[in-house]
């Protein structure tokens, strides 16, 4: 009986030590922040924020993703502390469809959506039956259609809102054909279509700048600039954690703002 009691005590002490070690790796003393991001511009911006965080005693680890799905799933699973690649309408749509519980911790920048020339070089040259490539994810597809509406190419059913698809186009005088593609493929599609509406980060990756290469774009003072601002996402309940607060502070620093303005020349616009 004494032997059993001793073994039980050893087991309890061992478990307590293991628990203490685990807590040390995930508690408030942990000074490593792991953030998922798209390579451009998010990971690039984060590298500058990492320099600011280093001055505060934090180490920033950046994990790059080239799609819009895995960064959220990986954040929800606990492998990341935050991610930085998306706007709020996309996050809310993702939560609904995937039963995730992710929230915005703060808006950092805005990437104007642009209409880029492919085989057709100007708005005046758009012919009947022209093909325009657009993102195929829910919120960005609606955003692309609304941009085309703004320049007078189509009219979208107002009731569709941010879930509009080509089926919601109620006026299409030029009989525009829509090629619905994954956002990451749009830059590579230009040679095959007349025009393409491309997300800011993927346009940059394709060597395009919305200020100089797009023939139409969302304006920085538009409603879209606020609606589609790129955010830092975290798990619900982590909005005010020490790591989150430090990360947001670094991303909204003067050093990061200057980097964004000097590097992207209007293709990425800080909103802080």
- pLDDT 10s digits, 189-241: 999 999 999 998 899 999 999 999 999 998 777 777 778 899 999 999 999 99
Model confidence at 163, in pLDDT bands (50, 70, 90)? confident
Kindly state the average pLDDT of the residues 125-132: 98
**pLDDT tens string 34-48:** 999 999 999 999 999
Going along the chain from its start, the domains and CATH numbers come out as: 31-111+227-270 (3.40.190.10), 114-218 (3.40.190.10)
Coil, strand, or helix at residue 75? helix
pLDDT for 104 beyond 50: yes
* % of the chain residues with pLDDT over 70: 89
Model confidence at 154, in pLDDT bands (50, 70, 90)? very high
Helix %, strand %, coil % of the chain (to 5): 45, 20, 30
Contact yes or no for 116/215 (Cβ under 8 A): yes
Contact yes or no for 210/200 (Cβ under 8 A): yes
pLDDT computed for residue 227 by the predictor: 87
**From CA 101, how far away is CA 103, in angstroms rounded?**
7
Higher model confidence: residue 251 or residue 140?
251
pLDDT for 21 beyond 60: no
């Amino acid at each position: 009986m004494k032997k059993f009691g001793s073994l039980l005590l050893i087991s309890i002490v061992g478990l307590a030590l293991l628990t203490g070690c685990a807590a040390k790796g995930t508690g408030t003393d942990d000074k490593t922040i792991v953030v998922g991001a798209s390579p451009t511009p998010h990971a690039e911006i984060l590298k500058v924020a990492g320099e600011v965080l280093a001055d505060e005693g934090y180490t920033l680890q950046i994990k790059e993703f080239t799609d819009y799905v895995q960064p959220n799933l990986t954040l929800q699973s606990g492998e990341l502390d935050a991610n930085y690649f998306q706007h709020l309408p996309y996050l809310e749509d993702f939560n609904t469809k995937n039963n995730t519980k992710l929230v915005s911790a703060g808006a950092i920048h805005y990437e104007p959506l642009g209409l880029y020339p492919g085989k057709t070089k100007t708005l005046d040259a758009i012919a009947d039956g022209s093909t325009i490539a657009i993102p195929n994810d829910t919120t960005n597809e609606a955003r692309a259609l609304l941009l085309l509406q703004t320049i007078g190419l189509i009219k979208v059913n107002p009731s569709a809102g941010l879930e509009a698809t080509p089926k919601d186009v109620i006026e299409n005088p030029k009989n525009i054909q829509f090629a619905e593609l994954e956002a990451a493929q749009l830059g590579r599609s230009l040679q095959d279509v007349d025009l393409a509406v491309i997300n800011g980060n993927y346009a940059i990756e394709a060597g395009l700048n919305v200020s100089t290469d797009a023939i139409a774009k969302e304006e920085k003072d538009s409603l879209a600039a606020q609606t589609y601002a790129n955010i830092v996402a975290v798990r619900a309940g982590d909005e005010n954690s020490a790591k989150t607060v430090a990360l947001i502070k670094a991303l909204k620093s003067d050093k990061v703002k200057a980097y964004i303005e000097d590097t992207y020349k209007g293709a990425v616009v800080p909103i802080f």
